[in-house]
Amino acid sequence: MNLGRRDLVKLGGLTLAGTALSPSVLWAQTPKRGGALTLRTWDPPHWDHMETGGASYKIHIPMTFTHSRLLKHKAGPGVVPGTFPIEGDLAESWTQPNDTTYVFKLRKGVRWHAKPPVNGRELTADDVVYTVDRFLKVKGNANAYMLDSVTKVEPVDRYTVKFTLKEPFAWFLDMIANPMALAIIAKEVVEKHGDLKKPEAVIGTGPYMLDSYRPNTGITLVRNPNYFLPGLPYIDRVEMVVDEDNASRMAAFLSGKYDLGWEFPGTINRTDWVQIKDSLKQKRPNLKTAEFPANVMSHISMRTDQKPYSDARVRQAISLAIDRQAIIDQPLEGVGVFNPPVPAGLKEWSIPMNQLGEGARYYKAAPAEAKRLLAAAGYPSGFQAPICFTTYGSTLLVDVSQMVLKNLKDVGIDARLDQKEYGAYISTCFNGKFDAMAFGPQTPYLDPDNFLYGQYHAGQLKNQSHINDPVVEDMLVRQRRTFDVAKRREILFEIQKHLAKQQYYVQMPSSVYVAVWEGAVKNYGPNLGYDYGGRLLHAWLDR
Amino acid sequence: MLRRYVAKRLLVAIPSLLIASMIVFTLPRLIPGDVVQLMLEEKAYAKDIEELRAKLGLNRPIYVQYFEWLGHVTTGNLGESLWTRRPVLEELGRRLPVTLTLGVCAIAFAILIAVPVGVISAARQDTLKDYTARSAAVLGLSVPGFWLATLVIVLPAIWWGWRPATGFTEFSQSPLYYLTQFLLPGVILGVASSAAIMRLTRGMLLEVLRQDYVRTAWAKGLAERVIVLKHSLKNAVIPVVTVLGIQIAQIIGGTVIIEQIFGFPGMGRFLFDAIVQRDYPVIQGVNLIVVSVIVIVNLTVDALYATLDPRIRL
């Protein structure tokens, strides 16, 4: 198969460049035990994954190595990036007796890490019940909303747990499998330490154990010899290096220090990649790469409860003003994807642009049509508008924001950036507290419900555009109650078609990630999300 | 006489520290977006925010929080990090030596390079050596430390696939490596100070070399080395010592970036993270320590000044 990069990106799936090995070839090789893998990480502010939100990924990423969940996302070269098939982790099997009840059968013989106070005791249903209870009740858990639907969790017997929900919630299993949610913990550990903030409290049932944590410097994980899947993991040690400077990270990668790309999730930013790919060909000829669309999506939000944004024609004009292709061509280095309301990165749920119907036209730059719509809405000379903004420390975001300003100015909207410091932005504009417009990226969720329900349902904190649209709300609730995947997808596509016409948010294109990993890392497949541990569980080193 | 002078300066330092404590306590709280909102990020609802604020003790009047904190400080307790719940003093105890070692390396480099070059430059005024030294000094002043650090790290990686060691090795792991790992960042951190000190040394020495007593020394036929090093340098370095105090403050500020680039778990990086996270007790603790260090350095400089020039004590 000989496809160019753009062709591969258009396909939207996993694309292997460099030495293209098919997954079957990889699986056919005999795994080797041993070795150490090095990757870049972010310094966790502490280790309690239930007591932080803003920096949760910094804790959740190492915890995907040390802790298990009831369910997890399948990983490996056979999984198409942007898809998240679910499989059991601690749960051997699960049933759904009715729309609001889930029963999980736990694996027998799962042992906690051999560390005090649990000292390798067996995991039971009580541990799961305790974890859910703490997850929902502990103060300061910014991710508690993920299990909002749960009213009761109870042990049926030593190895069976029953969840009862308030109402049908078709995404429940996805929430349980999400690495941001339910890493199972032991009650004794919380009781001993008061919370889970100390590194001594990092005790799970995962494939790796925390060997050492050096603040601001790094984390060393060692293989858990008692992991419940016999023979796994293959790699003996994982070194996670805290490296806060991009130049330092780039130099480290060039000199062969890191086995995975240094940016989240094991990628290299396109701008850096363009600069160093030729050097890498010489210095690290065995590198493997894969490209897939990011689920990080920026958008313009507007006060749709106020003039002029309450008029759909104004919102459509703003969308028509944006030259998305130019954004792809310039700041995104020529490689990117258009996003409907669900980012194209979520392959199973994002409607293809050519199926958007009537609303598709608002994603193509048409300044003349934008001016016509503005005039029809009573703004022939445009209007002035502040755009609340923070840089997130990203030069790319700054570049895109400048293009947005220029595009808006070209149709008569005199927009100016109201730039805020990150903390100020999060506490105001991110929650819809702004006067006219705001611009910035959204949390990169792994499911469409989090992208849509929070942003488009009245009363939700993430409803930045202050939307109150009964049509959307009805569909949002219906998709949550629809367990048939194909039918749910149909509803989600309908929602996106409706939203494309309404343009409550004006979506920007996303970059296409360049996932990079050392060729010696076998049986590894990149994907979106925090689950580094899951993706490396079956990987082995052939150095 | 010197003792009384130092005592007087110490008394002046107390209100300085008190005012500084008020500033370091108040300023972080004036930045929009507090620690609770950052902890909960976009997923928080009003009830969660208030509950967490109460849990962290941030719902009380600011003056109550200030006096409580000040009371604890006087007993040597700088409080706990709002994020990690670890004692700030314990964290500082671990990080302060890293920053101090880095700072000492930078100052040592600055002095070791700047003073001899400044002396040569002054003694050989308007020669090729002087021009070269002055050009290098201008370059040193112009090049930002973070840029220099970036080049030093990235270029060898691009050219040779080699990167200077970053990350951090504890003293207990390898004492020798512990010390050597500070050399490169210390040099980079000291470049700007070195340039400033060199220029000042040269300027002051030139002034002293034009004094009558120096002319007399020349007339007496003393060797150049004796005139410059013995009779002139001591008088020339008095302002240099003062500037050194200011440079130390700048170097402490510079550690924030250099520690970030070289991955050192020092105080600068601790402060940087704390500001981003609005971890008030950490910001207060680090700043109070920094202010104290600067006050002590200035006190030492004043004492040195008085030693070098006894007229100051009068």
Per-residue DSSP letter, A377: T
Q: Note the pLDDT tens digit of each residue in A243-286.
A: 888 888 998 999 999 999 999 999 999 989 999 999 999 889 99
- Interface with chain B: mutation pick from A242, A255, A282, A430, highest number of B CBs within 10 Å: A255
Q: What is the end-to-end Cα distance of chain A in Å, rounded?
A: 28
Q: What is the CATH classification number for the domain harbouring B113?
A: 1.10.3720.10
* A428 vs B160: CA distance, rounded Å: 47
Q: Mark yes or no for CB contact B85/A46 under 8 Å.
A: yes
Q: Which of A140, A252, A462 sits opposite B42 (nearest CB)?
A: A462
Chain B residues with CB under 8 Å of A285 CB are none
Alpha-carbon gap: B115 to the closest alpha carbon of chain A (Å)? 32
A143: contact with B, CB 8 A cutoff: yes
Render the burial of A368-395: b for 16+ CB within 10 Å, e for the rest.
ebbbbbbeebebeebbebbbbbbbeebe
A136: contact with B, CB 8 A cutoff: no
Of A412, A542, A454, give the one whose Cα is nearest residue A142: A454
Specify if B19 maps to a domain: no
A392: contact with B, CB 8 A cutoff: no
A26 falls in which pLDDT band (50, 70, 90)?
Answer: very low
Alpha-carbon gap: B113 to the closest alpha carbon of chain A (Å)? 27
| Residue B128 confidence (pLDDT) | 92
Q: Note the pLDDT tens digit of each residue in A292-319.
A: 999 999 999 999 999 999 999 999 999 9
Specify if B30 maps to a domain: no
CB A57 within 8 A of CB A264: yes
A460: contact with B, CB 8 A cutoff: no
Q: What is the mean pLDDT of residues A137-161?
A: 89
Q: Mark yes or no for CB contact B265/A217 under 8 Å.
A: yes
B312 falls in which pLDDT band (50, 70, 90)?
Answer: low
Specify if B86 maps to a domain: no
Q: Can you give the C-alpha Rg of chain A in angstroms?
A: 24
Is the predicted pLDDT of residue A63 greater than 90, yes or no? yes
| Residue B43 confidence (pLDDT) | 54
Q: Mark yes or no for CB contact B162/A422 under 8 Å.
A: no
Q: Mark yes or no for CB contact B39/A248 under 8 Å.
A: no
Chain A residues with CB under 8 Å of B52 CB are 139-140
Average pLDDT in chain A: 91
Q: What is the mean pLDDT of residues B15-43?
A: 78
Q: What is the end-to-end Cα distance of chain B in Å, rounded?
A: 8
Chain B residues with CB under 8 Å of A43 CB are 273
Strand blocks (E) in A233-318: 237-242, 267-268, 288-293, 298-302
B243 falls in which pLDDT band (50, 70, 90)?
Answer: confident
- Give the percent of chain A with pLDDT over 90: 79
Q: Which position has the token pair 């003073």?
A: B115
Chain A residues with CB under 8 Å of B85 CB are 46, 195, 197
Total beta-carbon pairs less than 8 A apart between chain A and chain B: 152
A390: contact with B, CB 8 A cutoff: no
- Give the percent of chain B with pLDDT over 90: 11
Q: What is the mean pLDDT of residues A491-505?
A: 97
The amino acid present at A402, given as its one-letter code, is: Q
Specify if B130 maps to a domain: yes
B224: contact with A, CB 8 A cutoff: no
**The two structure tokens encoding residue A131:** 């974890």
- Interface with chain B: mutation pick from A240, A245, A257, highest number of B CBs within 10 Å: A245
A254: contact with B, CB 8 A cutoff: yes
| Residue A55 confidence (pLDDT) | 63
CA-to-CA separations, B131 to A163, A253, A498, B118, B126, in angstroms, rounded: 79, 40, 72, 11, 6
Chain A residues with CB under 8 Å of B43 CB are 53, 142-145, 461-462
Neighbours of A217 (CB within 10 A): 19
Chain B residues with CB under 8 Å of A461 CB are 42-45
Bin B48: left if φ > 0, else alpha if -120 < ψ < 50, else beta.
Answer: alpha
For residue A413, the SS3 value is strand
Q: Which of A215, A423, A431 sits opposite B38 (nearest CB)?
A: A423
**The two structure tokens encoding residue A438:** 């705001």
**The two structure tokens encoding residue B200:** 């000042």
Q: For residue A410, what is the enclosing H or E element?
A: helix A395-410
Q: Which domain holds residue B293?
A: 95-313
Per-residue DSSP letter, A173: H
Residues 6+ apart with CB under 8 A from A225: none
Q: Mark yes or no for CB contact A426/B162 under 8 Å.
A: no
B43: contact with A, CB 8 A cutoff: yes
Q: For residue A506, what is the enclosing H or E element?
A: strand A505-507
Q: What is the mean pLDDT of residues B239-254?
A: 80
Alpha-carbon gap: A118 to the closest alpha carbon of chain B (Å)? 23
Q: Note the pLDDT tens digit of each residue in A524-537.
A: 999 999 999 999 99
Chain B residues with CB under 8 Å of A276 CB are 158
* A255 vs A265: CA distance, rounded Å: 20
Q: Where do the H-state alpha helices sit in chain B?
A: 2-30, 35-40, 46-55, 62-74, 88-123, 128-142, 145-160, 175-180, 183-209, 212-219, 224-225, 233-262, 267-277, 280-308
| Residue B276 confidence (pLDDT) | 78
Top-confidence residue, A241 or B34? A241
A505-507: strand order across its sheet: A413-419, A383-389, A437-441, A298-302, A505-507
Specify if B31 maps to a domain: no
* B46 vs B256: CA distance, rounded Å: 35
**The two structure tokens encoding residue B68:** 């409580």
A165, β-bridge pairs: A150
Strand blocks (E) in A121-207: 150-157, 160-165
Q: Mark yes or no for CB contact A256/B270 under 8 Å.
A: no
Chain A residues with CB under 8 Å of B41 CB are 53-54, 142, 426, 430
Alpha-carbon gap: A254 to the closest alpha carbon of chain B (Å)? 6
Displacement of CA A491 from its chain's centroid (Å): 22
| Residue A10 confidence (pLDDT) | 37
Which range is least confidently modeled, A15-24, A52-61, A255-264? A15-24
* Chain B, nearest residue to A216 by Cα: B265
A430: contact with B, CB 8 A cutoff: yes
A431 falls in which pLDDT band (50, 70, 90)?
Answer: confident
Is the predicted pLDDT of residue A171 greater than 70, yes or no? yes
B166: contact with A, CB 8 A cutoff: yes
Is the predicted pLDDT of residue B47 greater than 70, yes or no? no
B267: contact with A, CB 8 A cutoff: no
A385 falls in which pLDDT band (50, 70, 90)?
Answer: very high
CB A462 within 8 A of CB A320: no
Q: Mark yes or no for CB contact A244/B263 under 8 Å.
A: yes
Of A104, A120, A130, give the one whose Cα is nearest residue A205: A120
- Interface with chain A: mutation pick from B31, B38, B272, highest number of A CBs within 10 Å: B38
Top-confidence residue, B33 or A455? A455
Specify if B41 maps to a domain: no
Q: What is the mean pLDDT of residues A394-421?
A: 93
Alpha-carbon gap: B77 to the closest alpha carbon of chain A (Å)? 20
Which range is least confidently modeled, A117-121, A339-343, B55-59, B142-146? B55-59
Q: Mark yes or no for CB contact B163/A276 under 8 Å.
A: no
**The two structure tokens encoding residue B232:** 């002139």
Top-confidence residue, B31 or B63? B63
Alpha-carbon gap: B27 to the closest alpha carbon of chain A (Å)? 15
Is the predicted pLDDT of residue A12 greater than 50, yes or no? no
Q: Can you give the C-alpha Rg of chain B in angstroms?
A: 24
B77: contact with A, CB 8 A cutoff: no
Chain A residues with CB under 8 Å of B88 CB are none
Q: Mark yes or no for CB contact A54/B278 under 8 Å.
A: no
A422 falls in which pLDDT band (50, 70, 90)?
Answer: confident
- Interface with chain B: mutation pick from A50, A139, A421, highest number of B CBs within 10 Å: A139
A83 falls in which pLDDT band (50, 70, 90)?
Answer: very high
Q: A residues 498-537 near B, CB within 8 Å?
A: none
Q: Mark yes or no for CB contact B153/A248 under 8 Å.
A: yes
CA-to-CA separations, A73 to A214, A224, A339, A533, in angstroms, rounded: 29, 20, 24, 11
Q: Mark yes or no for CB contact B39/A54 under 8 Å.
A: yes
Average pLDDT in chain B: 84
Q: A residues 273-332 near B, CB within 8 Å?
A: 276, 279, 283
Specify if B136 maps to a domain: yes
Neighbours of A4 (CB within 10 A): 8
* A476 vs A151: CA distance, rounded Å: 21
Q: For residue A270, what is the enclosing H or E element?
A: helix A270-283
A482: exposed, middle or buried (C-beta count within 10 Å: 0-12, 13-18, 19+)? middle
Specify if B261 maps to a domain: yes
Q: Mark yes or no for CB contact B40/A139 under 8 Å.
A: no
Of A143, A291, A52, A395, give the one whose Cα is nearest residue B81: A52
B30: contact with A, CB 8 A cutoff: no
* B164 vs B249: CA distance, rounded Å: 27
Is the predicted pLDDT of residue B144 greater than 80, yes or no? yes
Residues in chain B: 314
Domain count, chain B: 1
Query: What is the complex's ipTM, to 2 decimals?
Result: 0.72
Q: What is the mean pLDDT of residues A366-374?
A: 97
Residues 6+ apart with CB under 8 A from A449: A171, A174, A479, A480
A116: contact with B, CB 8 A cutoff: no
| Residue B171 confidence (pLDDT) | 83
Dihedral angle of Cα A82, A51, B89, B189, to the nearest 10 degrees: 20
B55 falls in which pLDDT band (50, 70, 90)?
Answer: confident
* Chain A, nearest residue to B257 by Cα: A245
